[in-house]
């Protein structure tokens, strides 16, 4: 989504600080090769196995992998009769996936006769990520979605002073956080656990997955999730391992005396 998110070069509203114009519609499509082998598994069967995948960037949407139809296990696909219309790509035809006693309805879609401006979609199909049991990027399992080659994460040690309050109560105070910058998102500050009042937080059952940072566990106060931690982050975020990040939408996060915006 890095190219098509707000302020990206292919967004509906690119930044004004540029010396070019993009000649095209407000809703843009860009497809290019994904550089690695990708596999999808369902019910113990391989539904897709491709070294020729194409990543479609579309304004306002996450990038979507499109797979040559020849790289799908056609014996597992059943026409569903379901169709949808996209004003930018055309009429989509759907297939369900059946593997033994497992069934994923309308899990695969394609554009047999795409619109002229998206003619290169012909011969390709896409698979709903959550409909499959597992996805593999080469031999590493991927959770969340495939990584966008234009999206990056940088983590840097900093001496900025970070204080976190819930009302009048101080929850954390640190001058040795790690600042994490991620494409299209506001900077986040990750604090060492020793700088966080552990009696102020309780473990939450919430868990989220980021394909760039890993699996996050959450901490709460009352009925709110207010912070999270990546105990075993992916390689781009190893510097924040075990550090606590507070949600500025739930608590007040001050950096050098200024309150972070949500």
Query: Are the beta carbons of 105 and 80 closer than 8 angstroms?
Result: yes
- What confidence score (pLDDT) does residue 167 get? 94
Kindly indicate whether the domain formed by 29-142 is annotated with CATH number 1.10.3720.10: no
Query: Are the beta carbons of 73 and 46 closer than 8 angstroms?
Result: yes
Which has the minimum average pLDDT: 13-17, 38-42, 187-191? Answer: 13-17
What residues contact 185, with CB distance under 8 A and at least 6 apart?
A: none
Distances from the Cα of 12 to the Cαs of 4, 60, 95, 185, in angstroms?
8, 8, 31, 17
DSSP SS3 for 118: helix
What residues contact 84, with CB distance under 8 A and at least 6 apart?
A: 91, 92, 94, 109
At 201, phi and psi to the nearest 5?
-125, 155
> How far apart are alpha carbons 127 and 95 in whole angstroms?
10
> How far apart are alpha carbons 160 and 46 in whole angstroms?
49
pTM of the model: 0.85
Same fold, 29-142 and 153-259: yes
For residue 238, pLDDT over 60 is answered with yes
- What confidence score (pLDDT) does residue 232 get? 97
Distances from the Cα of 64 to the Cαs of 31, 58, 135, 147, 163, in angstroms?
9, 8, 13, 10, 39
If phi > 0 it is left, if psi is from -120 to 50 it is alpha, else beta; for residue 245 that is: beta
Query: Are the beta carbons of 212 and 193 closer than 8 angstroms?
Result: no
DSSP SS3 for 161: coil
Strand partners, 252: 165
- Average pLDDT for 22-44: 91
Each residue's pLDDT tens digit, 124-173: 999 999 999 999 999 999 988 999 988 999 999 999 999 999 999 999 99
What is the chain's alpha carbon radius of gyration, rounded to the nearest angstrom? Answer: 22
Domain extent listing, the chain: 29-142, 153-259
Average per-residue pLDDT for the chain: 94
**Architecture label for domain 153-259:** Beta Complex (2.170)
Query: Are the beta carbons of 49 and 138 closer than 8 angstroms?
Result: no
Distances from the Cα of 204 to the Cαs of 64, 114, 227, 250, 252, in angstroms?
31, 46, 9, 15, 20
- What confidence score (pLDDT) does residue 1 get? 56
Distances from the Cα of 198 to the Cαs of 71, 126, 194, in angstroms?
51, 45, 8
């Amino acid at each position: 989504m890095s190219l098509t998110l707000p302020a990206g070069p292919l967004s509906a509203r690119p930044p004004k600080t540029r010396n070019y114009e993009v000649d095209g519609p407000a809703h843009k499509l860009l497809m290019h090769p994904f550089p690695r082998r990708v596999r999808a598994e369902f019910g113990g069967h391989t539904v897709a196995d491709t070294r020729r995948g194409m990543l479609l960037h579309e304004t306002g949407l996450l990038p979507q992998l499109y797979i040559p139809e020849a790289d799908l296990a056609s014996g597992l696909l059943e026409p569903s009769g379901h169709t949808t219309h996209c004003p930018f790509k055309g009429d989509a035809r759907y297939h369900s996936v059946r593997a033994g006693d497992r069934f994923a309805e309308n899990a695969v879609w394609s554009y047999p006769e795409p619109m002229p401006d998206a003619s290169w979609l012909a011969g390709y199909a896409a698979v709903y990520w959550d409909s499959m049991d597992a996805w593999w990027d080469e031999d590493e399992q991927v959770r969340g979605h495939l990584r966008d080659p234009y999206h990056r994460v940088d983590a840097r040690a900093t001496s900025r002073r970070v204080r976190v309050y819930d009302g009048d109560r101080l929850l954390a105070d640190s001058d040795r956080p790690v600042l994490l910058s991620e494409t299209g998102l506001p900077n986040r500050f990750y604090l060492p656990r020793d700088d966080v009042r552990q009696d102020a937080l309780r473990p939450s059952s919430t868990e989220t997955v980021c394909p760039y940072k890993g699996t996050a566990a959450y901490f709460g106060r009352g009925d709110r999730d207010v912070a999270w931690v990546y105990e075993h982050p992916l390689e781009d975020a190893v510097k924040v391992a075990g550090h606590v990040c507070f949600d500025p939408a739930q608590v007040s996060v001050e950096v050098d005396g200024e309150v972070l915006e949500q």
